[in-house]
Amino acid sequence: MNRPLLFLDVDGPLNPYAAKPERRPDGYITLRVPRNDAHEDDRGLSSRRRPLRLWLNPEHGRTLLQLGFELCWATTWMDDANRRIAPVLGLPELPFVDFGAVLLQERPDGVHWKTGPLVDYAGGRPFAWVDDEQSELDQTYVTAHHQGPGLLHHVNPRIGLRENDFRTLADYVRSLNTSRTTS
């Protein structure tokens, strides 16, 4: 059976970059990787020379794999997520959305730059999108342009993915399966 897609952002949901620096949440490990200009928490020139600090929870890979989705990276890391993030989480190499020229390009209408490419990538297939940056405008865009179900699930970048987020995502998969067998 064709599983729904789960579009996964890294910085915010998996890496709670906005948490207080001295407060690494339980279960997380610290990773330092060379900086790439596209990363979201750049705070000026001086910080750009230092490696980027990430917090990741190695349990998250297994949990994500059990939700019933087909996982897909939807992040400024693009294919780097397979090199840097997936091994730490115990995830296999995943497909990723290639944002190409629209990467980090703000739109005049306020719709997030990821939203159009994600809707195009989904091509009408049901999806959930986990990110720390969606707004009402993105929901409106998805409702207008996506033919199937689409869940925009917002995660606080100070907190990252938690048990209740995983429950919401699992419930969403279940609701899709129920509507498929009853229609």
**Quick check: 150 and 127 in contact, CB under 8 A?**
yes
Cβ proximity to Mg ion: between 16 and 176 the closer is 16
Q: Tell me how crowded residue 129 is: count the other CB atoms within 10 A of its CB.
A: 25
User: How, if at all, do strands 52-56 and 29-33 pair?
Assistant: antiparallel
CB of 15 to Mg ion, least distance (A): 8
Q: Which residue is nearest to Mg ion, using beta carbons?
A: 12
- Residues 83-142 binding Mg ion (CB under 5 A) are 132
CB of 134 to Mg ion, least distance (A): 10
Site for Mg ion contains 165 (CB under 5 A): no
CB of 13 to Mg ion, least distance (A): 7
- Residues 9-48 binding Mg ion (CB under 5 A) are 9, 11-12
Cβ proximity to Mg ion: between 9 and 138 the closer is 9
CB of 28 to Mg ion, least distance (A): 16
Q: Which two tokens stand for residue 76?
A: 């400024």
Q: Which two tokens stand for residue 63?
A: 């949990």
Render the burial of 18-39: b for 16+ CB within 10 Å, e for the rest. Answer: ebeeeeeeeebeeeeeeeeeeb
Instruction: Please work out the total of residues on this chain that contact Mg ion, with binding judged by CB under 5 A.
Output: 4
Q: What is the DSSP code string of 64-76?
A: HHTSSPEEEE-ST
Cβ proximity to Mg ion: between 38 and 65 the closer is 38
Q: Which two tokens stand for residue 119?
A: 């809707």
CB of 81 to Mg ion, least distance (A): 12
Beta-bridged to residue 127, according to DSSP, are: 5, 150
Cβ proximity to Mg ion: between 9 and 121 the closer is 9
Question: Which residues form the interface with Mg ion (CB under 5 A)?
Answer: 9, 11-12, 132
